[in-house]
């Protein structure tokens, strides 16, 4: 089988940084560039050197310090831009200058106010000028997807003749669709006589959410370089996402027969985290490949499938993109299989009856709390394992509290088989509850220690209360957990009472 490498041109530091709110300082850019080199990208477009002294310096710093990939600087088709780009990329062992000029009627008429002949002349002159500085020159007819086909072919042919080794076809405003974009690339291959002398590149924006699809359609029709960004960052809705393109080519090798990239996919997740951290742009949880939920399974049916055989619901191995493993999210949709499997992983060995009880507790908690973490399970299991025969059990409680009223608690409990109710005020709601319980049992407890901590993260976290209570001169500890801290406090107190009733 004939194999073809797809060159990955990363523009996270140039187009990606054009994402509103995502600006990076030199140190951050260098750190990202070093990670991109480890990731295995072929070309790093490090910036637009003429745009600011800071951009110039960061491209130059990257050119000096990052070995391996080609280091590229962007330039308009102007000598001063090309000079700046050259000055910045020169220290690299493999410098590239990327010149661009808009070729669509809309851009020529409203933005540049120039006619086709002049655009053609400027594009040729810019490529020749860049070529006099470096041997590796790329040209982009900006807004190519909205450019008249005949004129696009003419420009592409002319810039290749002038020395461009790569012609990049941008879908600048993310307007194209896969069938149309494939046709544009095929059209260039069929109608530009000297096209064999250049690499066809594509650069797709994501305004219609089609950046990756358009890029992949182009690959199947002759493009051999793809311009993309980590996490799909970029101007407006962003650029085609690097990780999605790379993993689509790899995962669907039946469709992308013989195509490969040199990306070390195991570095994808780390690169994504770094870019997100340094740009301050969060990755949406359901983002393909790198989102927190990309390998997380919540539905009981899916969890059961994945636990039996991963490929039932996973088309990629999480480890292949640098995730540790698939995540079984325990929540209200989870079934016994996932629950037992997680306990096994935590090293918990319960008897069948205890497991069933713990599963019941888990389901109750899952109704109140979105995600059940390992620490929640430990608290549930702790309760199950520490269970003592229940002489006293909570049925209901109501409290009123505030800074202008006396805290009051009404408690209904089952005590020695009978339902009983009592009411009390107290210094605070917990004190009121404990006094109300004491009234029912007739055994006043002296609270010697009270501690509360949040078992897990988030507003719906499980609170765990530990108490030490003295009954008739003897000390008993108790523990209780709930998403409601008053309920956790009551459970902890009752746990101590039950211990007293059993061994006291
Ligand atoms: O989107 C675009 O057209 C660009 C060019 C500079 C390649 O970013
Ligand atoms: Zn762009």
Task: Return the ligand 1 atom nearest residue 144 CA.
Answer: 3
Class of domain 392-502: alpha beta
Task: Return the ligand 1 atom nearest residue 142 CA.
Answer: 3
User: Which amino acid residue places its CA nearest to atom 6 of ligand 1?
Assistant: 100
- Residue whose entry in the numeric block shows the structure tokens 């009472």: 497
CATH topology of domain 4-279: TIM Barrel (3.20.20)
DSSP 50: G
Helix axis angle for 211-219 and 178-191, nearest 10°, is 30
Pocket of ligand 1 (CB under 6 A): 15, 100, 140, 142, 168, 170, 172, 203, 205
User: Which amino acid residue places its CA nearest to atom 5 of ligand 1?
Assistant: 142
- Residue whose entry in the numeric block shows the structure tokens 């799909």: 232
**Terminal CA-to-CA distance of the chain, rounded, Å?**
80
Asked whether the CA dihedral 266, 270, 271, 273 is positive or negative, the reply is: positive
Whole-angstrom Cα distance, residue 291 to residue 500?
50
Ligand located closest to 19 CA: 2
Which two tokens mark 472?
Answer: 């008739």
CA of 172 to the centre of ligand 1 (A): 6
The fraction of the chain above a pLDDT of 90, given in percent, is: 73
Give the model confidence (pLDDT) of 158-217 as tens digits: 999 999 999 999 999 999 999 999 999 999 999 999 999 999 999 999 999 999 999 999
Asked whether the CA dihedral 233, 238, 239, 245 is positive or negative, the reply is: positive
Domain residues of the chain, as ranges?
Answer: 4-279, 296-370, 392-502
Burial 435-444 (b: 16+ CB within 10 A, else e): bbbbebbeee
User: Which amino acid residue places its CA nearest to atom 3 of ligand 1?
Assistant: 172
Give the model confidence (pLDDT) of 107-156 as tens digits: 999 999 999 999 999 999 999 999 999 999 999 999 999 999 999 999 99
**What is the residue-averaged pLDDT of the chain?**
93
User: Which amino acid residue places its CA nearest to atom 4 of ligand 1?
Assistant: 172
For 138-176, the DSSP string reads: EEEEETGGGS-HHHHHHHHHHHHHHT-SEEEEEETTS--
Give, for ligand 1, the residue of 13, 73, 172, 239 to mutate: max count of ligand atoms closer than 8 Å to Cβ.
172
Give the model confidence (pLDDT) of 281-334 as tens digits: 989 999 999 999 999 998 889 998 999 999 999 999 999 999 888 888 899 999
CA of 170 to the centre of ligand 1 (A): 6
Question: For 391-473, where are the E strands, in sequence order?
Answer: 392-400, 408-415, 418-425, 445-454, 463-471
- Mention every residue, 6+ apart, whose C-beta is less than 8 A from residue 405: none
């Amino acid at each position: 089988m004939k194999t073809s490498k797809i060159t990955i041109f990363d523009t996270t530091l140039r187009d990606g940084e054009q994402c509103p709110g995502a600006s990076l300082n030199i140190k951050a850019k260098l750190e990202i560039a070093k990670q991109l080199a480890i990731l295995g990208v072929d070309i790093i477009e490090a910036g637009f050197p003429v745009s600011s002294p800071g951009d110039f310096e960061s491209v130059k710093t990257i050119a000096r310090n990052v070995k391996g990939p080609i280091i590229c600087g962007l330039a308009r088709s102007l000598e001063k831009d090309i000079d700046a780009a050259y000055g910045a990329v020169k220290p690299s062992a493999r410098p590239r200058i990327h010149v661009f000029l808009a070729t669509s009627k809309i851009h020529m008429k409203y933005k540049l106010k120039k006619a086709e002949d002049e655009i053609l002349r400027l594009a040729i002159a810019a490529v020749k000028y860049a070529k006099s500085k470096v041997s590796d020159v790329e040209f982009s007819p900006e807004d190519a997807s909205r450019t008249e086909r005949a004129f696009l072919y003419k420009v592409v042919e002319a810039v290749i003749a002038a020395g461009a080794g790569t012609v990049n076809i941008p879908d600048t405003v993310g307007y194209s669709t896969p069938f149309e974009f494939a046709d544009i690339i095929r059209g260039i291959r069929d109608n530009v006589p000297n096209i064999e002398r250049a690499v066809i590149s594509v650069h797709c924006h994501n305004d219609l959410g089609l950046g990756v699809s358009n890029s992949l359609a182009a690959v199947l029709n002759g493009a051999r370089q793809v311009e993309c960004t980590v996490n799909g960052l970029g101007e407006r809705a962003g650029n085609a996402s690097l990780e999605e393109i790379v993993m689509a080519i790899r995962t669907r090798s039946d469709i992308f027969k013989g195509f490969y990239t040199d990306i070390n996919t195991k570095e994808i997740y780390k690169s994504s985290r770094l870019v997100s951290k340094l740009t301050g742009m969060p990755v949406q949880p359901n983002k393909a490949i790198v989102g927190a939920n990309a390998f997380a399974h919540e539905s009981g049916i899916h969890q059961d499938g994945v636990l039996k055989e991963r490929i039932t619901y996973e088309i990629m191995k999480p480890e292949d993109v640098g995730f540790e493993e698939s995540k079984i999210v325990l929540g209200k949709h989870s079934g016994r299989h996932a629950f037992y499997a997680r306990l096994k992983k935590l090293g918990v060995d319960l008897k069948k009856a205890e497991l069933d009880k713990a599963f019941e507790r888990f389901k109750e908690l899952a109704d109140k709390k979105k995600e059940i973490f390992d620490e929640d399970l430990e608290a549930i299991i702790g309760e199950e394992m520490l269970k003592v025969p229940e002489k006293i059990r909570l049925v209901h409680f109501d409290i009123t509290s505030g800074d202008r009223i006396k805290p009051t608690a009404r408690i209904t409990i089952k005590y020695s088989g009978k339902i009983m109710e009592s009411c009390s005020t107290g210094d605070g709601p917990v004190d009121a509850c404990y006094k109300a319980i004491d009234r029912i049992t007739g055994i006043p407890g002296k609270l010697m220690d009270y501690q509360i901590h949040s078992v897990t993260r988030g507003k719906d976290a499980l609170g765990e209360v530990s108490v030490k209570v003295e009954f008739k001169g003897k000390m008993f500890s108790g523990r209780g957990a709930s998403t409601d801290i008053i309920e956790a406090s009551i459970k902890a107190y009752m746990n101590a009472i039950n211990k007293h009733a059993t061994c006291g």
